[in-house]
A and B are shown apart, each in its own frame.
Chain A
Amino acid sequence: MLITSLPFLLFFAATLGIYYILPKRYQWVGLFVFSIAFFHFSAADYTILYAVAAVLVTTLCAGRMAKAKTEGNSRSAKRWLVLGLVVNLGILATLKYSNFVIRNVNFAATLAGKPTDIPQLDLLAPLGISFYTMSVVGYLLDVYWGICPAQTNLVKTALFVGYWPQLTSGPIARYNEVREQLYAGHKFDSGQIAFGMQRMLWGIFKKLVISARLAVVVDTIYGDTATYGGYYIWLAAVLFMFQLYTDFSGCMDIILGASECYGIRLPENFRTPFFSRSVQEYWQRWHITLGAWLKDYILYPVLRSRAWKDMTKWIKAHWGKKAAKQIPSILGMLCVWLLMGLWHGGSWNYVLGMGVWFWFLIAAAQVLDPVFKKVIALLKVNTECFSWHLFQSLRVFTLAMIGNMFFRLNGFRKTLRVIKAGLFPNNPEIFFDGSLFKLGLDGPNFILMVVSLFVLLIVSLLQEKDSVRKQIARQNLPFRWIIWYGLIFGILIFGMYGPGYNAADFIYQGF
């Protein structure tokens, strides 16, 4: 069930009504039932068995782990933790990475002169497996570290794992962040529901009005790079950045808004990432929950591990203090970024585009930081003015754009070929001779796309100050209503939905 479709909105309205009719102490049971229904409407029923397995193992392991810890039996606790991690990650790895491994084995065998043809598996992963597995793994580690208590109620664990708004594209929630909200009763709060719905509207606008139009242009150009070379390639690259952002953040707005209507605040996943001044900051503003998860559950444990400490000592002894400070953290980050790439999918373009590329940028920035500072001082650059901030943001945008080209173009060689096609011909005239109106969108639709990107910019600028919804709520009623009516009718009239349009899934829905 696509979360921008009318059936979804009806599903949501019905569940919201039932939720607030239910006695408060049973509201969480209602959420559990809604989640099962959502799963049923959105995915092949049998795939729920994987999620059921995850819930059973997680509840068992967390419960036993907590018991072992109270008994002071840390070895047993560790065993239960390992079991929980192996089963959950094993399911994820089997369903998502088997074919990646098979393809690479076949390739390696061919290189070794012994070609093999291990057939790929046709496995269907359950909805949101990458997201809920992260949540579950984090939860098990938190229980092991004593950060949160174990949940022994199977249905409550199931709700944490399969809370329906999270199933589409996250965010990756921490048990401690949501447990009280999920299981507590919530009083009907019209203001909160209005806020939630307003956020959903903005998310739908981003997806149906902006992202869907951008997708048409991007698909047209990338679908025929033999015809569309030169500036077309860079136009598509820029537009894809906005497409990905409006698609993913739009999805998040719908999900977080829907959850807010139930009285449950899920963690934010975006904070105007295009205003970032460094790549590191970009990843603190883009897919925040994934970045934070990798930092807390991969990077820090790796850096704190005995092996890493030994390595740091060795580097210090052989290469000096400065190297000992930088090399272990850069290598630790490599682990994180490799996982970041792999999380996006079992394919080298993800590993390179969403992983290694960003690792390289951050590591280079870290290593070259003293050099940059010297150059800035030498050139007497004012680093406090708007133009410098703009330059920094554009630099980050461009670097992220290159990484996203690998993400979008599905293949390392293909991406290099497309980048090469972007160098020739030199055709700046396309921006003036009406060529842009032949990229799948007619003139009015193309102009609408540009206008809606300006709307996005204005909203993003306002977001930097405070919640836009709060800012609007402070206005007088006629103005508020004009804005909300405008948004609703903007979606109804300008949205790309209905017959004649391919109702494209959210890009991150496949993860």
Chain B
Amino acid sequence: MKKVYIFKTMKVIVFLLGFYVQFSYVSHVLVGDTGYNFQQSAGFFEEPKDSLDAVYIGASPTFTSWVAPLAYKKYGITMRTFANNAQPFISAENLLKIARKRQSNAVYLIAINGLYEKNELSVETAHRTTDFLPHSLERAFLIYTLCHGFQYSLDEYFELLFPIIRYHSRWNSLSAYFFHRDYERTKGGFTSSTFLNEVENIADYYCATTDREPLPGFTQDALVKLLAYCKNENVKVVFVLSAQYRNAQTVKWYNTIIDEVKKYNYPIINEMSDFDEIGLDDKTDFYNDCHTNIHGALKITDYLAQYLIDNYGFEDKRGGTEYADWDEAYEKYIEIVRPYLTEEELEWLQ
């Protein structure tokens, strides 16, 4: 009798495991993405455990301003982004916890961009942050944070938890790409043609204010929780205000966050106030008001890399056999971007 019971239980477990494996694969295939969602989010988990010097968490300005393979080539540091388009700041704590499970000793750069009003971020956009994260309790908490913050319904909670609920109807428009979604292996180095090709003069968008405005309640709570977590866990963290031109209210929120961060004595890099020091030019270094192009990205990469080396003294990883994939990433990336770089930029790389 007991044997029968054990056999039946085993059968149920095997059935459920089989289901989970297939479910994960089918969900992965069906998830719709713009390409870089997958590269930035899932790509992070391809890195060997505790192999990164630093991790950069934030919204799209992170991966449009940090060129990981070139920073490695120039300075020998291994830092990559764990970011996604429109990734809200309130997700930072959960993402930090998820990232620390793989890269426990890394320095964490957290972009404070990605601020939204309560009902501003659509569920569709929130999917970009969560779709490619591996299943875990922390992912469920992250989804709860998003649903609580942006007032999503129970149904929306479930569809973020199980993306197949949103994407299953794509079955009739799947292409081979979705079955063999592969990593670009550029360590998150951005390759979008807009990023490489385009320039927009954004000087007119500039909005400078030193005023402060209280953050929306849910963002304030998220900030307090994040700072407390970093303090309790002794996380080596650097906050970053990425270079982008936003409206007056958002800038006031940034100022409020900067004040809070300073209270905890965490370093903050304000790329907007350090605009000239970085060498950014609002006529040539952006492809739109929110994102730097390859030229602006190189300047910010240089600036951030030097800051990290100066403050954290990372070892030079170049030439190490275990970092061969970084060398390969550089070779691959430079082949893609070389045609778009100026003589001066190519010289900088040497």
Residues of A within 8 A of B (CB): 5-7, 190, 442, 444-445, 477, 481, 484-485, 488-489, 492-501
Most buried by B among A6, A7, A477, A500: A6
Q: Complex Cα distance A7/B19, Å?
A: 20
Residues A498 and B168 in contact, CB atoms below 8 Å apart: yes
Let me know if B168 and A190 touch, CB within 8 A. Answer: no
Residue interface bits B152-189, CB-to-A below 8 A is 1, else 0: 00110011001011101101100000000000000000
> Could you give, for residues 35-50 of chain B, a 1 whenever the CB lies within 8 Å of some chain A CB and a 0 otherwise?
0000000000000000
Once the chains bind, are B26 and A498 in contact (CB under 8 Å)?
no
Q: Indicate which residue in A444, A492, A495, A499 contacts B172 across the interface (CB closer than 8 Å).
A: A444
Would you call B165 and A489 a contact (CB within 8 A)?
no
Would you call B165 and A497 a contact (CB within 8 A)?
A: yes
**Are B165 and A498 in contact, CB atoms less than 8 angstroms apart?**
yes
CB pair A485–B123 under 8 Å, yes or no, is no
Could you say which residues of chain B place their CB within 8 Å of the CB of A500? 169
Q: Which residues of B contact A445 (CB under 8 A)?
A: 172
Q: How far is the CA of A442 from the CA of B8 in the complex (A)?
A: 43
Residues of A within 8 A of B159 (CB): 498-499
A485 touches B22 (CB 8 A): yes
- In whole angstroms, how far apart are the Cα atoms of A499 and B162 in the complex? 12
For A477, the chain B residues whose CB sits under 8 A away are: 11
Bound Cα distance A76, B15 (Å): 60
Q: Assuming A7-B158, A190-B12, A492-B168, what are 15 further A-B pairs, CB within 8 angstroms? A: A6-B155, A6-B158, A6-B162, A7-B155, A190-B8, A484-B15, A485-B18, A485-B22, A493-B26, A493-B164, A493-B168, A494-B171, A496-B169, A499-B123, A499-B165
Complex partner residue of A492 from B11, B12, B23, CB under 8 angstroms: B23
Q: Tell me, rounded to whole Å, the shortest Cβ–Cβ distance linking B123 to chain A.
A: 7
Decide yes or no: A498 and B166 within 8 Å by CB, A190-B8, A444-B172 being known contacts: yes
A495 to B30, alpha carbons, bound, how many Å?
Answer: 14
Q: List 28 A-B contacts (CB under 8 A).
A: A5-B155, A7-B155, A190-B12, A442-B172, A481-B15, A485-B22, A488-B19, A489-B22, A492-B23, A492-B26, A492-B164, A492-B168, A493-B30, A493-B164, A493-B168, A493-B171, A494-B168, A494-B171, A495-B168, A497-B165, A497-B168, A498-B159, A498-B165, A498-B166, A499-B159, A499-B165, A499-B166, A501-B169
Which residues of B sit under 8 angstroms from A444, Cβ to Cβ?
A: 171-172
Q: Which 8 A-B pairs have the closest CB atoms?
A: A444-B172, A498-B165, A6-B158, A493-B171, A493-B168, A190-B8, A499-B166, A498-B166
Q: Do residues A498 and B15 form an inter-chain contact, with CB atoms below 8 A?
A: no
- For residue A166, give the distance in angstroms from its CB to the closest CB of chain B: 25
- Whole-angstrom distance between the alpha carbons of A484 and B19 in the complex? 10
Question: How distant is B139 from chain A, measured CB to nearest CB, in Å?
Answer: 17
Write the chain A residue with the least CB distance to B173.
Answer: A444
A190 to B8 alpha-carbon distance, docked (Å): 8
B161 nearest CB neighbor, chain A only = A6
- Main SS of the interface on chain A? helix
B137 → chain A closest CB, angstroms: 17
**C-alpha spacing A488/B165, complex, angstroms:** 13
Residues on the A chain within 8 Å of B18, using CB: 481, 485
B interface, CB within 8 angstroms of A: 8, 11-12, 15, 18-19, 22-23, 26, 30, 123, 154-155, 158-159, 162, 164-166, 168-169, 171-172
In the assembled complex, the Cα of A493 lies from the Cα of B159 at a distance in Å of 14
> Smallest distance from the beta carbon of A377 to chain B beta carbons, Å?
54
Task: Looking at the assembled complex, report how far the CB atom of B232 sits from the nearest CB atom of chain A, in whole angstroms.
Answer: 33
**Nearest B-chain residue to A481, judged by Cβ:** B15
* Interface of B (DSSP majority class): helix
A488 CA / B172 CA spacing, docked (Å): 18
- B4 (CB) vs chain A CBs: closest residue: A190
| Complex CA distance for A499 and B165, rounded to whole angstroms | 8
Q: Smallest distance from the beta carbon of B140 to chain A beta carbons, Å?
A: 14
Q: Which residues in A have their C-beta under 8 angstroms from that of B168?
A: 492-495, 497-498
Q: What is the distance, in angstroms, from B24's C-beta to the closest C-beta of chain A?
A: 12
Q: Which residues of A contact B164 (CB under 8 A)?
A: 492-493
Cα separation A6 to B123 with both chains bound (whole Å): 18
Closest to A484 in B: B15
A499 to B124, CA, bound (A): 10
- What residues of chain B lie closer than 8 Å to A481, measured between beta carbons? 15, 18
Interface centre among A477, A488, A497, A499 (most CB of B within 10 A): A499
- Cβ of B206 to closest chain A Cβ, rounded Å: 38
A445, B168: Cα distance in complex, Å: 13
Give the distance to chain B from A478, nearest Cβ to Cβ, in Å.
11
**Residues A489 and B171 in contact in the complex (CB < 8 Å), given A481-B15, A497-B165:** no
CA distance A153 to B164 in the complex (A): 47
Cα–Cα, bound, A485→B17 (Å) = 12
Q: Of residues A492, A496, A500, A501, which shows the largest number of chain B Cβ atoms within 10 Å of its Cβ?
A: A492
Q: When chains A and B are docked, how far (Å) is the Cα of A111 from the Cα of B299? A: 86
- List A contacts of B165 (CB < 8 A): 6, 497-499
A485 surroundings in chain B (CB, below 8 A): 18-19, 22
CB distance from A246 to the nearest CB of B (A): 19
**B154 contact from A7, A484, A495, A496, Cβ within 8 A:** A7
User: How far is it, in angstroms, between the C-alpha of A500 and the C-alpha of B168 when the chains are bound?
Assistant: 11
A494–B22 Cα distance when bound, in Å, is: 15
Bound complex: CA of A484 vs CA of B123, how far in Å? 32
Smallest CB–CB gap between A208 and chain B, Å? Answer: 10
Residue numbers in A under 8 Å from B23 (CB-CB): 492
State in angstroms the CA–CA spacing of A496 and B171 once bound together.
Answer: 12
Could you say which residues of chain B place their CB within 8 Å of the CB of A494? 168, 171
A492 to B165, CA, bound (A): 8
CB distance from A35 to the nearest CB of B (A): 21
With both chains docked as a complex, state the minimum distance between the C-beta of B121 and any C-beta of chain A, in angstroms.
15
Tell me whether A489 and B172 are in contact (CB under 8 A). Answer: no
A7 and B156 CA atoms in complex are apart in Å by 12
Separation of A481 and B17 alpha carbons in the complex (Å): 12
A190: chain B residues at CB < 8 Å are: 8, 12
B166: A residues at CB distance < 8 A: 498-499
Report Cα–Cα, A488/B22, bound state, in Å: 11
A486 to B: closest C-beta gap in Å:
10
A496 to B165, CA, bound (A): 10
Q: Which residues of B contact A7 (CB under 8 A)?
A: 154-155, 158
When C-beta atoms are compared, the residue in chain B nearest to A500 turns out to be: B169
* A447, closest chain B residue (CB): B172
A481–B158 CA distance with the chains assembled, in angstroms: 26
Residues in chain A near residue B12, CB distance under 8 A: 190
Establish whether residues B169 and A489, one from each chain, have CB atoms under 8 Å apart when the complex forms. no
Task: Provide the bound-state CA to CA distance between A481 and B164, in Å.
Answer: 21
Complex interface: chain B residues within 8 A of A492 (CB): 23, 26, 164, 168
Instruction: Give bound CA distance, A488 to B123, whole Å.
Output: 26
> A152 vs B11: C-alpha distance in the bound complex, in angstroms?
44
- In chain B, what residue has the closest Cβ to A448? B172
User: CA of A173 to CA of B166 in the docked complex: distance in angstroms?
Assistant: 38
In the bound complex, residues from chain A placing their C-beta under 8 Å from that of B22 are: 485, 489
Q: Residue on A with the closest CB to B168?
A: A493
A488 to B16, CA, bound (A): 12
A488 to chain B, nearest CB (A): 7
